[in-house]
Amino acid sequence: MIVLGIESSCDDTGAAIYDSERGLLANGLYSQVELHARFGGVVPELASRDHIRKTMPLVRQVIADAGIGQDEIEGVAYTAGPGLIGALLVGAAIGRGLAMGWGVPAMGVHHMEGHLLAPMLEPQPPTFPFVALLVSGGHTQLVRVDGIGRYELLGESLDDAAGEAFDKVGKMLGLPYPGGPHVAELARQGRIGQFEFPRPMTNRPGLDFSFSGLKTFARTTIADRTQDGVLAEQTRADIARAFEEAVVATLVIKCRRALEQTGLRSLVIAGGVSANQRLRQVLEENLAKINSKLFYARPELCTDNGAMIAYAGCKRLLAGQRQDLVISARPRWDLESLPEIHASSA
Ligand code: KG4
Ligand code: ZN
């Protein structure tokens, strides 16, 4: 089955063509980073308007890149939530409308399910069951995954998401939005052990996270070390390094705990922060010690993209699920509420 996927939940317009027989045929992305940069964060109304401008040209581009005719598309998947409601509605209206016009079924996809399944697009995909660490700009969750739609939430952030903490600390360090990749880049010049950031909620049991304290700790540290309005370049990098180490260490402790608790031996990391090299490296070292395996997607499939939506939508369409004719989106949407797909159809 050939499926067009559309992603528009936040500040990236993504479109992709996935074929259940041949794999990913085309993947296009238009990032709105420059549009929002001067505001230091995403402006929802500007995001919606830009999705309106960019989605159809991107859809045409991926159809051409895939080397197919539009009449070969057998289903349309779009992100139906969670995310910014205006942005979501653009993708939902276009996706639903195209499907109706082409006379093919449509599927509204859960954005985090898309992230969670993205590593399935890699040559050596994980097999069920596994533990998934979802780390994006809006979510930090540990999920037990027994199949598509068989999700049990093991823990989540009680306040900021890991990506959000990266973005806020990036802003404090004077780095462009989104801060995550820039903090990671700056941390490379940083020396380990110059600052000791806390590892929040690791010395008590449970799998929940809290990242807002780390952000406050960063703010205080930066203020302490700023003299006459100047923070020395090396100190800036050392702070970035210490912050990244603290986030990584905290995530690693909770992932190990989740594997122990479930008795599972595969960990999937997904979402924008899973592109972080240091997180991958430390997790890989740790999991090797406990005879467990780490799975992740290539960097462009970790951050928001249309490919993961096309893939998740294709799985659900193949299982016979269909979106009704109503154009709808949900800014909040519980991952555990998704219907299950039985192994035979997945
Ligand atoms: O999954 P995603 O693209 O969008 C959401 O669904 O939120 O995640 C974006 C988040 C941003 O907070 C961004 O700063 C973070 O992922 N991010 C990173 C890295 N690349 C992206 N954080 C740390 N290190 C990275 N290399
Ligand atoms: Zn995302």
Q: How far is the CA of 181 from the centre of ligand 1 (A)?
A: 7
Judge if the upstream peptide bond of residue 176 is cis by omega within 30 degrees of 0. Answer: no
Ligand 1 lined by 14 (C-beta under 6 Å):
no
pLDDT, position 119? 98
Residue 344 has pLDDT above 70, yes or no: no
Ligand 1 lined by 184 (C-beta under 6 Å):
yes
H-type alpha helices, 263-298 = 277-289
Q: How far is the CA of 139 from the centre of ligand 2 (A)?
A: 8
Ligand 1 lined by 82 (C-beta under 6 Å):
no
Burial class of residue 40, CB neighbours in 10 A (0-12, 13-18, 19+):
middle
Ligand 1 lined by 141 (C-beta under 6 Å):
no
pLDDT, position 313? 98
**At what angle are helices 179-187 and 233-262 packed, to 10 degrees?**
110
Residue from 308, 274, 303, 309 nearest 121 by CA: 308
Residue 244, both tokens: 């990244």
Residue from 96, 143, 100, 124 nearest 293 by CA: 124
- If you take atom 22 of ligand 1, which residue's CA is the nearest one? 180
Average pLDDT, the chain: 97
Average pLDDT over residues 303-318: 98
Average pLDDT over residues 145-168: 98
Per-residue pLDDT band at 345 (split at 50, 70, 90) = low
pLDDT, position 342? 83
Ligand 1 lined by 167 (C-beta under 6 Å):
yes
Q: Give tens-digit pLDDT for 258-304.
A: 999 999 999 999 999 999 999 999 999 999 999 999 999 999 999 99
pLDDT, position 51? 98
Q: How far is the CA of 194 from the centre of ligand 2 (A)?
A: 32
Q: What is the rounded distance in angstroms from the CA atom of residue 206 to the CA atom of residue 309?
A: 31
**Half-sphere exposure of residue 147: CA atoms within 13 angstroms, side-chain side:** 12
Q: What is the rounded distance in angstroms from the CA atom of residue 151 to the CA atom of residue 113?
A: 9
- If you take atom 16 of ligand 1, which residue's CA is the nearest one? 272
Per-residue pLDDT band at 52 (split at 50, 70, 90) = very high
Average pLDDT over residues 118-143: 98
CB atoms within 10 A of CB 52: 15
Ligand 1 lined by 18 (C-beta under 6 Å):
no
CB atoms within 10 A of CB 143: 24
Ligand 1 lined by 75 (C-beta under 6 Å):
no
Q: Which ligand is nearest to the CA of 303?
A: 1
Q: Which ligand is nearest to the CA of 272?
A: 1
Q: Collect all residues with Cβ–Cβ distance below 8 Å to 76 and sequence separation of at least 6.
A: 3, 4, 5, 6, 95, 96, 98, 99, 102, 104, 105, 106, 107, 313
Contact 54, 12 (CB under 8 A): no
pLDDT, position 254? 98
Q: Give tens-digit pLDDT for 217-247.
A: 999 999 999 999 999 999 999 999 999 999 9
The vertex-156 CA angle with 333 and 209, nearest 5°, equals 150
- If you take atom 7 of ligand 1, which residue's CA is the nearest one? 137
Residue 106 has pLDDT above 70, yes or no: yes
Contact 151, 144 (CB under 8 A): yes
Helix (H, G, I), strand (E, B) or coil at 69: coil
Residue from 75, 104, 109 nearest 312 by CA: 109
Q: What is the rounded distance in angstroms from the CA atom of residue 276 to the CA atom of residue 268?
A: 14
Ligand 1 lined by 119 (C-beta under 6 Å):
no
pLDDT, position 346? 55
